[in-house]
Structure formats: structure tokens, C-alpha cells
Amino acid sequence: MPFVAAIRRALLSAALALLATAALADGPGRAAIASPHAEATAAARQVLEQGGNAFDAAIAISATLAVVEPYGSGLGGGGFFLLREQSDTAHYRFLDARERAPGASTPDMYLEDGKVRQGLSINGALAAAIPGLPQALADLAATHGKLPLRDSLAPAIRLANQGFAVDRIYRDRATMRLNALRDDPESARLFLRENQVPALGTLIRQPELAATLQAMADQGRDGFYRGAVGRKLVEGVRRAGGVWTLDDLAGYRTAWRQPLRYPLAGQRELISSPPPSAGGVALAQSLAMLQRLPWQGAEPVQRTHYVVEVLRRAYRDRGLLGDPDYVTNPINRLLARQYLSGLADSIDVHDATPSSALPPAPAWREGDHTTHFSVIDAAGNAVSAILSVNLPFGAAFTVPGSGVVLNNEMDDFAADPTGSNSYGLAGSQANAVAAGKRPLSSMSPSFIESPSQFASFGTPGGSRIPSMVLLSMLGFLEGRPVSEWPAIPRYHHQYLPDVIEHEPNTFDDEQKAALRARGYALKDVQRSYGNQQVLYWDKRAGTLEAASDPRGVGEAAVLE
């Protein structure tokens, strides 16, 4: 009988464990949104209250950001969407909506007499790759949404017609690209006032963009890639010296990819972006190396040393990656435990490792003004997305009559893979220009999940994205309040240049002196950077939190 009782107790314990697991698998019961603009958060709230899910809300946020952040994203750009689908268990998918090079693209299209022609991959129609965001919004509605696309686009259409007020972030980005905006009459008409950056509070109306969004609401993806809008886009690009064709637009497709997944200590798992993002690999490598180092108990300078050294090694491998449809990415080798253990063991406890002492690798550069949001619904479906047009206001070229600001993502390719690009940086053959190819990116929307916790991360910031996300993840791993994750002072190292870039108030004078004594060069970038939006769901406590980066003008909300 004691044996039978023991069996009964074991069965009861197992049943209770299963019940607990089932309870933890349920959604948070409420929704939360963290976006970089209050209007985008309001649009997501509206769609959720109409019965939409996180994927419908992601469409509403993306479309609204296309209206209020023409400097960061839009229908003329692309992005990455990391999805968490809640059913009996969590399933993850990755929607690659990165722009693709036009069919007429060639490796030497930005060269003249063997040298890069300054500006062609940055400003104007030739700098624009084929946009991916419109296709992504249609795909999300068709495969994951509960509402028709027109309902999710409605808030953005209304806002484009009614207008939005210029804020400090808009003024900052427009100032950065003022000359390029002035050079394009349509961009100047829409986004400047008398050829100057608009004053705070100025109302920006975009009826042409509203009409383009309405065409998508009526016709789905064909409302953008075909028909009147498609013809208008191609004609406008070609008149301005670009190489788009109707076939380029009609043939654009997103790619569903398997997210990068990497096990972490404490039953946690990193779920992040696969190539053509290099960011997920860099995050996995950095976290794996830090697990072998005593970073949590270290004083600030020692901790910075550990973080910088793992970033140095992770960023060195970036030049090996490219569009997986065109190159074979050595992911298994780069994430092999033996390889990462060797990298961690090569870190000197006290002194900086000069990048010149590591095996050589190609350098690279990408635009650093994108946008990010996170959203989770009551059922546990979630999206972390980073959208981009590359540099602020992309190519600073708006197709007349469409309201669509085009990206300059062609600049993310290696303009000269055998020499250097317009920034004097060595190119990467894996990221060379090719027809239909997607340029490499650091954009890395990410989750960390365990049986008891779920957290969502991501930020704009170009090459600095992985370092920013890593610092926020470390805040999560050491149990800091959610509100602090996006606020953590930022520093960055990317192998080359061999320097720690940092925000103005990241280090005090004593810490700077200590870092220099270890062999580091430091560069104050003289401004804050990044704009991270984070979510946290404590499954055991049943609590849900969201936070928006204090550097921006975003808004985080937990719906009741």
C-alpha cells in the first residue's frame, strides 16, 4: 500500500505540474503595446479593441509609423517581423520583408572608372531597392490577422488625411537630411516649409499617401505593386534616373524564414533574427560568451570590458554573412559551442584585445535611422518588428503623386566588394550587389523566453542595434525593472573601427581613465541614440509590462 500511495502522489504531482504548465502557456489576459509614437500606439489600441490580434495591431502600427515617421520607415521601405504565435505552445516565425535589389542591378552600378560614385547609393531614385513593407502588411493580414486589411489600415489612412504635428524627433531627422530633402521638389513640398525644417507643432498632411494606403485597403498587395500605384511608382523612379520595372514590383515577395534560436542558461532561449540579419548571430554569440564570464558580479569598468570584448569578437564575424537566398551562411560554425568557448577564452581579464590582433574581416556600414515596436495580445500572440528606409527619409526621394518616400537600402550593399565603398570601408563579397538580392542588416527584433518569462526587445540604430539590444537583455537577465531596460546608458564596439563609441553620460571621468588604461580608445558620439520598445510578461505572476525608450517620444501602454 505505501508503494501504491507513492504512485498516487507521483501521479498527482505530475498532474499538477501539467496544470501549471498549461496555465503558464495561456496568454497574459491583457494586451500591451510599446511603440515610438503615441499615434501608432493609439492605432494599435483601436485595432485590438475592435477584436484584432497582435498581428492586426502590428499592421496598424506599421502603417501609422509610415505616416508619422517618414524619416524612419514607410511603404517605400522594408523590415523584419518576429512573430510569436500562441496555441497549445508558442510557435515562432520570422517574416523577412527586406527590400530587394532591382533586376537591373549590377555589382558595379555605383562605380565609375573603378571608383565609387559618391551619393548615387544614398540620394535619389537609383539608391532605392524594391520595397517590402506593403507586401508584409498584406501577408500578415492574410496569414495571421483576424481583421481584414482595410480595418487595420484605417487609422493610418485617417491620420494621413488629417495630418500629424511635427515633434522634436521629426525636426532632428529633417535637419540631418535637410539638403537632400531640398533637392527633391516633392519631398520638400511635403516635409519642409518654405524649404526649411518645419516648426514644432506644424501639421504635416499627406493626402497622396492616404490614397496609396486606400488602394492597398481596397486591393491588398496589388494596390501597391500593380495597377495605377505600381505604374506611378515605376514611372516616377525611371524619370528620376532609377532602374525599377513593373516586373520588379509585381515580382516582389517576402520570405518566411526560421528564426534563429539559441539556448541560454536558466531554461531561457533567445529567439532572434536570421540572415539577412547579422544581428541575431551577434546577439547569440555575445550572450554565449558572456555566460562563460563573471559579468554580473563585476564592477562597472570590468563589466564594460567583458561586454566590449564579446562584441568585438561577435562583430568581427559579420562580414561572413549575407542573403541566404544567394550565399551559404556558416551559422552552425559561428554558433558552435567549441568555437564560442574559444572566443571567450581568448579574452584577457584586464586588457583590451586590439582588433588587429584578431583574424581580419571585412568592415561595413549601414544606415542607423529605422524604427521598432513591440506588441502582445491577451492570448499571447506577439510581434517585435524593426522597419527601415535606411538613412533618415531614406533616399530623400518621394515619388510624385504617391506620397511614398523611397528607401536608400542599396547603400547597405558593399558598393565595391573588391575595394572600398563610399565610406572608405572594405567590402564583403557575401554582401555584394546582385539583382533580386536583399542587403545585409543588423536589424534584430528578438525575444527571450522561458517557462516562466517572456521578454521582447529591439531598437533602431543600424550597426549599433545588437549592442543596444544586448545591454537591454543584460538588464533583463539581472532582474532590473522593465522601465530601465530601454533607458540603460549605451556604449558600442563593432571590431572596426577599434573604438568604444558611447553616449555623452555613459561613463564618468574616472571610468574613462580606467578604460583607457586598459588599452581602449573612446569616442563620445555627442548625442543619444536608439529608440527601444520593450515588453515583459511574467507568466507565473500573471503580470504584463511595457516600456518605451525615454530618448524618444514613444508611448507604452498595457490595456485593461
Helix 279-290 / helix 465-477 crossing angle, nearest 10 deg: 40
Residue 276: cis peptide before it, omega within 30 degrees of 0: yes
Residue 276 to residues 88, 135, 234, 401: CA-CA distances in angstroms? 30, 18, 26, 32
Residue among 370, 371, 398, 506 flagged as catalytic = 370
What does the alpha-carbon distance between residue 149 and residue 233 come to, in Å, rounded to a whole number?
22
Using alpha carbons, select from 197, 254, 202, 242 the residue that is nearest to residue 404: 242
Cell numbers for 195, please give them. 524649404
Residue pair 442/278 in contact by the 8 Å Cβ criterion: yes
Inter-residue long-range contacts of 264-267, CB under 8 Å, 24+ positions, other chains counted: 264/291, 264/448, 265/291, 266/450, 267/450, 267/451
Distance separating alpha carbons of residues 431 and 410, to the nearest angstrom: 11
Q: Are the beta carbons of 268 and 453 closer than 8 angstroms?
A: yes
For the residues of 343-407, what is the DSSP string, one character each?
HHHTS-SSS---GGGSPP---------EEEEEEE-TTS-EEEEEEE-SSTTTTS-B-TTT--BPP
3 state SS of 39? helix
Label each residue of 144-180 as H, E or C.
CCCCCHHHHHHHHHHHHHHCEECCHHHHHHHHHCHHH
- What residue has cell string 497549445? 88
| Alpha-carbon dihedral 93, 99, 101, 102, rounded to 10 degrees | 110
Report helix, strand or coil for 197: coil
Beta bridge partners, 555, equal 35
Least Cα distance to 215 among 234, 238, 239, 232 occurs for 232
Residue 370 among the catalytic residues: yes
| CB 35 within 8 Å of CB 554 | yes
- φ and ψ at residue 221, rounded to 5 degrees: -60, -30
User: Minimal CA–CA distance to 134: which of 80, 93, 77?
Assistant: 77
- The 8-class DSSP code of residue 125 comes to G
Q: Is the peptide bond before 497 cis (omega within 30 degrees of 0)?
A: yes
Q: Which three cell numbers stand for residue 457?
A: 526587445
Residues taking part in catalysis: 370
